[in-house]
Amino acid sequence: MTEPADLPPPPQRRRRRRLLWLLVPLALLAGAWLYMYTTSDRRLAQVIAQTDRLDPHWRLDDILAERDTIPDAENGALTVAAVKTKRPAQWPWWDISPTPARVANPESNPSEAIRDLKPNEALPEWARDAMRPEMKFAADAIDEARKLADQPRGRYSITYSKDYVSTFMAGVQSAREAAYLLQLDALFRAQSGDLEGAMVSCRALVNNARSIGDEPTLIAQLVRMAIRSIAVGQAEHALGQGEPPANALAVLQQMMEEEAEEPLLRIAVRGERGGMDRLMQSLQDGGTSVKMMKGLMSGGITQQQSRWGGEAALLYLPGAVTNNRGALLEHMNKLVEITRLPPEEQAERMEELEKSLRKEPLLVRELFPAAEKVVEAERRTRALLRCAAAGLAAERYRRKHGRWPDRLDDLKDEFLREVPRDPYDNKALRYRKDGDGVIIYSIWKDRQDDGGDRARLNTYKEGTDAGFRLWDVDKRRQQRK
């Protein structure tokens, strides 16, 4: 008797087969999770060990603990705090809410005249008259801010949060506000003929930047870079209005030479590495949740959903956060190592590092800082400070010899220890005479020598250079055309 073909398997066998189809994927998934968990822990341990070898004191608490103590009497940050208490709340009026009458009469509002002012131009008399009562109104705050001229160090009282990124840094913002106060004071004094007083305010601006000190965050050091650029601009303006005392030039030159060599990028990146790892440690330990991370990085539910998509769900898998932490720390180590290179070699390495981010896990892509902008900001402000220092030396040379130096090498020994190098190509800063005076300049990021051509109101315009101009005496304090 022949048995029928293709008979279905018994029910018991079918159940075992279905169970097998269910268990195999679960076993594979469990194995993948176990592999991720064990390998991520191993990777993180290896990266931390590597970081310890590269920099034994890399953790944020270690960085904060190893900083020098600054006595209150020398702490410029305390002076900045005092300035904030004395600064008028609604000041200057043209930045707050001009009255309808002043809007109707533009010649009562000096803001446009100040913004468009060239360093060797005189403000219209009406603009100086409009500024005068505002400067008197803020006199107490200005006097306090000018004390910074003799305070080259600073440290703000900052308590770093468990997650690092929500740390409140009000003091750094106060430094920015004090810088604006000093900027207007230096400008008004120079325009009023008080060139020695303007130089004091320029020194106070440099030390206002220094009041931020070695605060280990990108934000803090970016503010310091911005303020020292303001100091360079006001020094150029003072020299465009006349001839400040030679001894005042020498003191400011030394300050700018010193500030130009401060390793602000390295300070910022080292701190950011320790801070980001603190954040990842908090996420790993449960002090910070994935949901909180979304809010920190995107600022809104709709944005975070579109930016993160389904990839954020992977962060809930065992070992995922640990894997992200190890990858982020590894990338931050590479960034710190780039800061050890000469400035002219950093750009290419930064570009390579930025490209490599595309293949990294979500949190590495999201948390890795926009370091290329900070690298550029430090290089540019270093170039400006070096140009300014060489410019002040050239002005001192002119005072003594009655003419401009033929080349920057003429300044060596007596006015400069050595000719400063351009941080964009490591060659000597460029120097050019023209019919109005001289300019000391850097070729800037396009690596092209544009003859010292500068875009005054758009300082990041392509095809321009960055530098410091000095005018012949008869070309200073010109009436606006």
Torsion sign, CA atoms 203, 206, 210, 212: positive
Q: Rg (Cα) of the chain, in Å, rounded?
A: 29
For residue 227, tell me if it sits in a domain.
yes
Q: What is the pLDDT of residue 20?
A: 55
- pLDDT tens-place string over residues 204-240: 999 999 999 999 999 999 999 999 999 999 999 999 9
For residue 50, tell me if it sits in a domain.
no
For residue 355, tell me if it sits in a domain.
no
- Interatomic CA distance for residues 337 and 25, integer angstroms: 43
- Burial of 188-205, coded b for 16+ CB within 10 Å and e otherwise, reads bbbbbebbebbbbbbbbb
Stretches where the chain sits below pLDDT 50 are: 1, 27-28, 299-306
Helix (H) or strand (E) segment spanning residue 406: none
Is the separation of the CB atoms in 156 and 215 below 8 Å?
yes
Structural domain boundaries, residue 421:
72-154+169-262+376-479
For residue 307, tell me if it sits in a domain.
no
* Residue 458 CB contacts under 8 Å (≥ 6 apart), including other chains: none
Total domains, the chain: 1
For residue 88, tell me if it sits in a domain.
yes
- Interatomic CA distance for residues 372 and 355, integer angstroms: 11
Q: What is the pLDDT of residue 304?
A: 45
- pLDDT tens-place string over residues 420-441: 999 999 999 999 999 899 999 9
**pTM beyond cutoff 0.95:** no
For residue 314, tell me if it sits in a domain.
no
Q: What is the pLDDT of residue 303?
A: 45
Residue type, 457: L
- Interatomic CA distance for residues 106 and 429, integer angstroms: 41
For residue 368, tell me if it sits in a domain.
no
* Residue 115 CB contacts under 8 Å (≥ 6 apart), including other chains: 457
* Residue 49 CB contacts under 8 Å (≥ 6 apart), including other chains: none
Q: What is the maximal distance between C-alpha atoms in the chain?
A: 127
* Residue 156 CB contacts under 8 Å (≥ 6 apart), including other chains: 77, 169, 171, 172, 175, 211, 212, 213, 215
For residue 420, tell me if it sits in a domain.
yes
Q: What is the CB neighbour count within 10 angstroms for residue 476?
A: 19
Q: What is the pLDDT of residue 457?
A: 53
- Interatomic CA distance for residues 172 and 77, integer angstroms: 9
* Residue 427 CB contacts under 8 Å (≥ 6 apart), including other chains: 421
